[in-house]
Amino acid sequence: MEICKNYPRKSMIAVSLLSALCIPYAESQDYFNPALLEMTSTAPPSVDLSSFEAGTQAPGTYHVDVFINKQLVDTKEIEFKLVETEPGNNQLQPCLSVAQLKSWGVKTENYPDLGDIKAPCAKLSAIPQAIAEFKFNDQRLNLSIPQIAIVSFARGYVPPEQWDDGINALLLNYSVSASTTVMRNGSGGTQNSQYVNLRPGMNLGPWRYRNYSTWNHSDDGQDSWNSVYNYVTRDIKSLKSQLILGDSVSPSDVFDSVAFRGAQASSDDDMLPDSQKGFAPVIRGIARSNAEVTIEQNGYTIYKTTVPPGAFEINDMYPTGGSGDMTLIIKESDGSEQSLVIPYASLPVLQREGRLKYSLTGGQTRSNDSDDQKLNFGQMTAIYGIPWGTTIYGGAQQADNRYTSVALGAGVNLGDIGALSMDITQAWSKLSVENDSSSFEQRDGQSLRVRYSKNIAKTGTNFNVAGYRYSTSGYYTLQDTLSNYHDNFDNNIGRRRNRTDVSLSQDVVFGSVSLSLINENYWDKNRMSSVSVGYNNSWKSISYGFNYTYSKNSRSSNDDNDNNQKNVDQQFSFNVSIPLDKWLAGSSATYSLNSSKNRSTTHNVGLNGTALEDNNLNWSVQEGYVSDDQANTGSANVTYQGTYSKLNAGYGYDDYADRFSYGIQGGVVVHGDGVTLSQPLSDTVVLVKAPGAKDVPVNNQTGVKTDSRGYAVVPYASPYRKSDISLNTEDIKDNNLELDDTNKSVVPTRGAVVRAEYMTQTGFRALITLEYANGVIPFGAIVSNTNTGNTKESSKSSIVGDDGQVFVAGLQEEGQLQVKWGKSANQQCTVNYRISPQETTSGVLTLREKCL
Encode pLDDT of 114-136 as tens digits.
Answer: 888 777 888 888 888 888 888 87
Long-range contacts of 638-641 (CB under 8 A, 24+ apart): 640/616, 641/616, 641/617, 641/679, 641/702, 641/703
Question: Amino acid identity, residue 114?
Answer: L
Q: What is the mean pLDDT of residues 346-358?
A: 80
Residue-wise pLDDT tens digits, 731-747:
677 667 777 778 888 99
- Confidence tier at 825 by pLDDT (50, 70, 90): confident
Contact 242, 235 (CB under 8 A): yes
User: Under 8 Å CB-to-CB from 643, ≥6 apart: which residues?
Assistant: 677, 678, 679, 703, 704, 705, 707, 712
pLDDT the model gives residue 341: 66
Among 470-479, 485-494, 789-798, 836-845, top mean pLDDT goes to: 470-479
- Phi then psi for residue 113, to 5 deg, are -70, -5
Identify the residue with better confidence: 448 or 42.
Answer: 448
Q: What is the mean pLDDT of residues 533-559?
A: 80
Count of beta carbons in the 10 Å neighbourhood of residue 67: 18
- Asked if the model's pLDDT at residue 241 lies above 80, the reply is yes
Q: Positive or negative, the Cα torsion across 40, 43, 49, 50?
A: positive
User: Under 8 Å CB-to-CB from 264, ≥6 apart: which residues?
Assistant: 243, 244, 248, 250, 359, 360, 361, 362, 363
Among 156-165, 650-659, 707-716, 761-770, top mean pLDDT goes to: 707-716
- Asked if the model's pLDDT at residue 178 lies above 90, the reply is yes
User: Under 8 Å CB-to-CB from 302, ≥6 apart: which residues?
Assistant: 214, 228, 295, 296, 317, 318, 320, 326
Mean pLDDT of the chain: 80
Identify the residue with better confidence: 188 or 836.
Answer: 836
Q: What is the mean pLDDT of residues 750-764?
A: 88
Strands 60-68 and 140-144: parallel
- The residues with which 32 forms a beta bridge, in sequence order, are none
pLDDT the model gives residue 558: 42
- Confidence tier at 565 by pLDDT (50, 70, 90): very low
Q: What is the mean pLDDT of residues 169-194?
A: 87
Question: Amino acid identity, residue 560?
Answer: D
- Confidence tier at 4 by pLDDT (50, 70, 90): very low
Question: Which residue from 684, 685, 669, 846 is spatially nearest to 766, judged by alpha carbons?
Answer: 846
The pTM of this model reads 0.73
Q: What is the mean pLDDT of residues 404-413?
A: 93
pLDDT the model gives residue 841: 54
DSSP characters for 156-210?
Answer: T---GGG-B----EEEEEEEEEEEEEEESTTSS-EEEEEEEEEEEEEEETTEEEE
Question: Which residue from 672, 690, 668 is spatially nearest to 681, judged by alpha carbons?
Answer: 668
Count of beta carbons in the 10 Å neighbourhood of residue 723: 18
Question: Amino acid identity, residue 749?
Answer: T
pLDDT the model gives residue 214: 92
pLDDT the model gives residue 70: 77
- Confidence tier at 57 by pLDDT (50, 70, 90): low
Q: What is the mean pLDDT of residues 428-452?
A: 83
pLDDT the model gives residue 836: 76
Q: What is the mean pLDDT of residues 539-560?
A: 76
Quick one: which H or E segment has residue 606? Answer: strand 601-611
Cα 310–chain centre separation: 30
- Confidence tier at 225 by pLDDT (50, 70, 90): confident
- Asked if the model's pLDDT at residue 12 lies above 70, the reply is no
Among 23-37, 40-54, 607-621, 790-804, top mean pLDDT goes to: 607-621
pLDDT the model gives residue 80: 86
Among 34-48, 212-226, 301-315, 735-749, top mean pLDDT goes to: 212-226
Residue-wise pLDDT tens digits, 248-278:
989 888 998 888 999 999 999 888 764 433 3
Q: How far is CA 539 from CA 141, 459, 511, 545, in A?
A: 47, 21, 9, 11
User: Under 8 Å CB-to-CB from 539, ≥6 apart: which residues?
Assistant: none
Among 201-210, 621-630, 631-640, top mean pLDDT goes to: 201-210
Alpha-carbon span 308 to 637, nearest angstrom: 9
Q: What is the mean pLDDT of residues 49-75?
A: 71
pLDDT the model gives residue 39: 46
Question: Amino acid identity, residue 112?
Answer: P
- Confidence tier at 383 by pLDDT (50, 70, 90): very high
- Confidence tier at 638 by pLDDT (50, 70, 90): very high
- Confidence tier at 620 by pLDDT (50, 70, 90): very high
